[in-house]
Amino acid sequence: MEAFLCTDDLCRQFGGVTATDCVCIDIEESGLRSIIGPNGAGKTTFINIITGRIPASSGKVFFQGSDITNKPTHELVRMGICRTFQITSIFQNLTVFENVRIARQAHKGGSLKIFSTKRSLKNVSVDTWDILERLGLQDQAHQEAKNLAYGDQRVLEVAIAMAGSPQILFLDEPTAGMSPGETNHISRLIRGLAEEISIVLVEHDMDLVMSISDRITVLHYGSIIAEGLPEEIKTHQMVREAYLGKDA
């Protein structure tokens, strides 16, 4: 059976530094895969290559059997490959509803002009409400995004990504800077989404990773040093050494 998304010897060099070193990974069609590793392990570089932010130096990326290596981001989004970023990326002066509606309208290919057909706008609005309800943002729909609590802004960013109808969603440190309560809230939402689509999570919160992941991939100096179930990764000696040093 061909992998849903996979990489074949994926590499990226920056000058003389190898940030991603011959990475081969198979990601399932649904479920939650976490990618972890110490600072500088190459996690964000790896997903930047897959999602078209930067080109690979060598190697291949395949999605549903098609070679998507170095395709531009907008083409990948149309194929169902979406992501969020470490830094919140939303329209601060628009409402929650407007943020998601614009993303949904862009995905559906409808015009953003005022002369769009009433039917197309109605369909987009219905889809937008569905997404907001799915992520628990319906009560804040008419608030400007800048007035949301930080945790809700990060949830809004996930909602914007979901407006693209992703088949696979990459989340880059979605809980960074959150309170414990906010972290618990978004982790439950992410776990719920993973029952429907494939989620790839880059995260530093190890308690979170171990509690919600189906499988974990560990990068160190750009290479995979371990893969497995959370309970396997917890006790993996190379992982302990990467995080804690060789005396761990």
Task: Dump pLDDT digits (tens) for 193-209.
Answer: 999 999 999 998 999 99
Residue 69: band (very low, low, confident or very high) from pLDDT cuts 50, 70, 90 = very high
* Chain centroid to CA 156: 13
pLDDT tens column, 108-156: 765 445 445 556 678 899 999 999 999 999 999 999 999 999 999 999 9
Count of CB atoms situated within 10 Å of the CB of 9: 12
Mean pLDDT, residues 56-84: 95
* Model-wide pTM > 0.85: yes
Amino acid (one-letter) located at 49: I
Give the residue carrying structure tokens 């997903």: 47
Q: For position 3, what pLDDT does the model report?
A: 77
Average confidence score pLDDT of the chain: 91
Element (H, E) at 215: strand 215-220
- Give domain 5-244's CATH architecture: 3-Layer(aba) Sandwich (3.40)
Q: In what order do the strands lie in the sheet with 5-14?
A: 17-27, 5-14, 58-63, 66-67
Q: Which residues is 34 bridged to in the sheet?
A: 201, 216
Is residue 118 a contact partner of residue 110, using CB atoms and an 8 Å limit? no
Distance (Å, whole) CA 246 – CA 248? 5
Share of the chain above pLDDT 70, in %: 91
Question: pLDDT confidence of 243, banded at 50, 70, 90?
Answer: confident
Q: Which amino acid is at 116?
A: S
Helix or strand holding residue 76 (H, E): helix 73-79
The candidate with the shortest Cα–Cα distance to 127, out of 158, 156, 95, 103, is 103
pLDDT at residue 106, rounded to an integer: 87
**Arithmetic mean of pLDDT, 226-237:** 94
Residue-level pLDDT at 247: 52
Contacting residues for 14 by C-beta, under 8 A, at least 6 apart: none
18-31 average pLDDT score: 95
